[in-house]
Amino acid sequence: MISNNTFHSEVLQPFQIASEKYATSNAFCINEVFYSYKQLGEIISSIRASVKALKPGNDNVGLVANDDIETYAAIIALWLEGKCYVPVNPETPAERNRNVLTQAGATVVIDSSEQVLFPELNVIRSKELSFSKPDLEPVQVADDALAYIFFTSGTTGVPKGVPISRANLAGFIKAFFELGITMDSSDKCLQMFELTFDLSVMSYLAPLLKGACVYTIPKNKIKFNYIADLVEDHQLTVALMVPSIIHYLRPYFDEINSQSMKFSLFCGEALPLDVTGEWAACIPNARIMNVYGPTEDTIFCTHYTFSRDSYNKASNGLVSIGKAMNGTFTIIINDNKELVNAGEKGELCLGGVQLTPGYWKNEEKNKEAFFYTMYNGAPARFYKTGDLCLADEEVDIMYLGRIDSQVKVQGFRVELSEIEFFAKEFLNKVNAVAIAFTNQLHNTEIGMVIESTEFNTRPLIEYMKTKMPGYMIPTQVRFIHSFPLNTNGKIDRKLLKEKF
């Protein structure tokens, strides 16, 4: 028996209890079809039987991230069996997905698709399995075993893996509920994220531990329209969204009056103060929170509650990301890794129980991103976020932007250099620069400036679509005879951005 197993006490045991206590209650609503906790448990058990039959050593299991009950059940089945899931989006280029699965060492894939996507691997076809007996009792696995690996955009065109341990995820769940967020079997909770995006984990997992119902967004629906309908028609009570969603909903705010919403959380992008104030009128009874955190620190790790009646802390019109959640350490450093004073700008660094063990098989990147320093009288490990921030005298953190060229698009983290990498690969010696710009809806899009006379860019865009997910594909392309340079002799990206 393994002692001090926090993943068991914070995640698996509460799920077991909820499954038994609320067997007849709805666990999921997927494309207007409801599934009870009993049904979910039976599908979990059937998938787990196939996982049990795997040869020893298959600890990292690929998961084709479809929007169906079998895919969600597979996650729980893997965790009960002590395995780690590695999600791949079926709409992402196959070459990229194979790279992810190869890096993770995943030779087994759980797939609920009608047509098998990776026939060269050992495929568990989860829709074809039959239920024989309930099996929700977890095996004993140490907390340092992995819960999942998410692969994010990498600078060289190769996705980089971020492994999250069972202890990391247990630490998040504990800190999340210590924020005062309450859920029970009457709650209806939004899950708007792709399962390859780590905000999905909170959106499905937290409700399942409390007997609540998770409402997902079908991939063939317009996301913001469907969310608006769910909020109104199903009277959702808890929602974590990226801020771009309420930018899309803004023209319809006058029609939205959700009395049922209790908790409205935002993450993944900077949250503008003005639109938050307008959204508050649409959900008069809800606590609105701005939360922040990179994949490397397990979903999110800081929080700020929006005030309806008084002053809200903000910088450049962006709501503060607030203070660290329980178990997380935050510091702000200068270029010499020295702590800055209150009110001074620097790079935000994160430590504590939610911090990843390190990038998957990438020691070079680990040396760049992680370091040790003294914290509260003891050495502590920290992650350099690349985010420019400052903290006020009350230790509330203001987000000021990115230090490097990484941006958030639709909540997904994107390296502009990766987009440039594939563009230049196709263009063969012709230079190209990727630019993140704000459109008329105040959402982030990707533009590209090419140092050339004009030409038909359709072949370029089609090539990039075979290499990258849709949110990384430039929506607008401009041409320029010669790139402008700044005083340091570098390409002046600020001037290029003015073209969009």
Domains recognised in the chain with CATH numbers: 325-386 (2.30.38.10), 407-497 (3.30.300.30)
CA distance 410 to 414: 10
- Predicted local confidence at residue 155, as pLDDT: 67
Mean of pLDDT values over 407-427 = 87
Residue 389 has pLDDT above 50, yes or no: yes
C-alpha closest to that of 68 among 114, 118, 135, 13: 114
Q: Against a cut of 0.85, is the pTM above it? A: yes
Residue 7 has pLDDT above 70, yes or no: yes
- Predicted local confidence at residue 489, as pLDDT: 53
pLDDT tens digits for range 207-236: 999 999 999 999 888 888 999 999 999 999
Residue 204 has pLDDT above 60, yes or no: yes
As a whole number, the mean pLDDT across the chain is: 93
CA distance 320 to 399: 7
pLDDT tens digits for range 274-316: 999 999 999 999 999 999 999 999 999 999 999 999 999 999 8
Residue 1 has pLDDT above 60, yes or no: no
